[in-house]
Structures are given as structure tokens and as C-alpha cells.
A and B are shown apart, each in its own frame.
Chain A
Amino acid sequence: GIQVEQSPPDLILQEGANSTLRCNFSDSVNNLQWFHQNPWGQLINLFYIPSGTKQNGRLSATTVATERYSLLYISSSQTTDSGVYFCAVEGSETSGSRLTFGEGTQLTVNP
């Protein structure tokens, strides 16, 4: 099945810093989503972005489907941005619509 790799695995920032999280995938995709898992374990939908660029406040994401990667940008980070960020993809070569998740990036933003 499709492979998803996220980097870096861990990231520690000072409040106000910017960061870029990367998601590489091994095959073409129909769907790519970014999630933030908060301290209570909830998965918060950030972006549905199988291709192109989207922005939502301090967060933006870009997916270059032809080169099989996606980037999540966090600007002016805040302590509330801490948590695990997951990338999940649906491979276009599979018959179903399951999402395959990466291992995640653990982000810690210090005050």
C-alpha cells in the first residue's frame, strides 16, 4: 500500500517562530488531509488539500501532487499550536477510500 513519511518527527520552537512540516507519499493520491491532534486526543481537520495551496489564518498548506509531497506552514507559532500534526492520504491506486496516516510530527511551542 501507499507509504507516508512525515518530517521532522519532533520539533521544538519558541513562541513566534515559523515552521514547515513535510509529508512525502509514495504514490499518486486522491485525497490528502492535514490534522492537528490536541492534548485531549481529538483530531482537528486543518486542510483537505490533494493539490494546490490553501491558507487559513496563520496556517497554510501546499501539495505538489506530481512530486508527491505536501508542506504545512505554521507562522507566528503559539503555545496552543503544540500537539501532533498528522498527514493522511488516500492512494488513487487503491480501490477503496481509506486514509493512510503518517507517523506524525510532535510540535512543542515554548513560551
Chain B
Amino acid sequence: DARVTQTPRHKVTEMGQEVTMRCQPILGHNTVFWYRQTMMQGLELLAYFRNRAPLDDSGMPKDRFSAEMPDATLATLKIQPSEPRDSAVYFCASGLLGQGMNTEAFFGQGTRLTVV
């Protein structure tokens, strides 16, 4: 049963601490998305990758957020230093962009981050 796996599922941290969220995309998928969901802003696209290369990270606060794909089986989203306004649910999704150039995204269960 192929699925996107995110860890941790929940994270509570103090303001100023570094937070790293991990995502294992579905094997064989070549596109990875990171979204942030809050009640106020809804689902915001932070960054997305194709074949491990970042295509667009314009939605991500560059001063504190960074997203990488060290290899095809791991995507990371890091916040340093974290702030209370970063509290949200962070979703990773993966997809397969093929010749049809239309991609559905498969979502993980999310990481619920609380910064106190």
C-alpha cells in the first residue's frame, strides 16, 4: 500500500528552536510538494520539487525556512529559528509527472507543529 510518510506526526517546540520535518514520497514519484495549512491562510504552497530539483519556493519565508531533497526517498523542511506564527499543519505530497503533464498529488498525514 503505497503512501507518503511524514515524521513526526506531532511536534511541540519552544520559540527559537530548530524544527526538521521529514517526508518519504511514494517510490517512483518524481514531484514533491510542501504545503502549510492554517485556519486563517488555508493551504499555502511553500515549495515543490521535480526530480529532486527545487522548481518554486516563492511561498516560503527564505530567512528561516529551507527545503531540500537529499535523495529521491527523502524530502526535508527545516525551520530555524521557529516562531509561534509557524504553528500549523505541514503537509508533504508527491506525484508522478509524466508525458501527460498532469499530476495528482498524494498527501501524507501531515506534521502538526506547535511553537510555544
- Indicate, yes or no, whether A interacts with B: no
- Residues of chain A at the chain B interface (Cβ within 8 Å): none
